Structure 1
């Protein structure tokens, strides 16, 4: 897991957010081992990007590439200061990450209408014991 803290001037936050989807698309297309990312706004100018990688080697290879694609460059452009870049592991939550990614994939498939609500719920329960049928519609609303 990558934890990158950086600063963006408050008046450029919209630029950062608008560039995010293209950056994630470039990562999915170009970065071996990229699993998922979540951007967190800490305060008006401080952000934390939490990125899940399949391995430390994949994270290192990604760092070597830098801002090699337009979507990645556009995301980095408003960043005024890199505060820290750290690597860590999620102790005790290994299955949660897989369930989260599987859930997101299922939500995307469910949104196509190609699978029934019941099938969606059964498959999702393979990854999470906490999902109840009445929460499927609520879950499907999340990105």
Structure 2
């Protein structure tokens, strides 16, 4: 019963961050994605589900109506009163990886169990393929 949509681009302009929409709230996370600077939680105060002939339903029938338009404007006004959430961070966002490498080396391991060396090599190959596509050239 859930829907997920993802849009990402390294070349096209867009909003630097993310949004998670739910039936009770929306969470807007400020970018950059690798080092979020904070978030705002917008709670949506919607009444209980309406029971129809096919069982419980929420506001599906109102979406396309004039009442639905007024309702969406009212909900947008409620969302504007968001709760700001801080996201304190240190470093540039990659310090977690550096710390994991230091801990693995100190423990005598050659990789961290959360991401294997093979997975790291696979990701680098994908990046090389993407880079080659941008320039129209082969990988170097």
TM-score, scaled to structure 2? 0.29
Mark the structure with the bigger radius of gyration. Answer: 2
| Bigger proportion of residues as helix | 1
What TM-score comes out, normalization by structure 1 length?
Answer: 0.29
Higher relative contact order (CA 8 A, sep 6+): 1
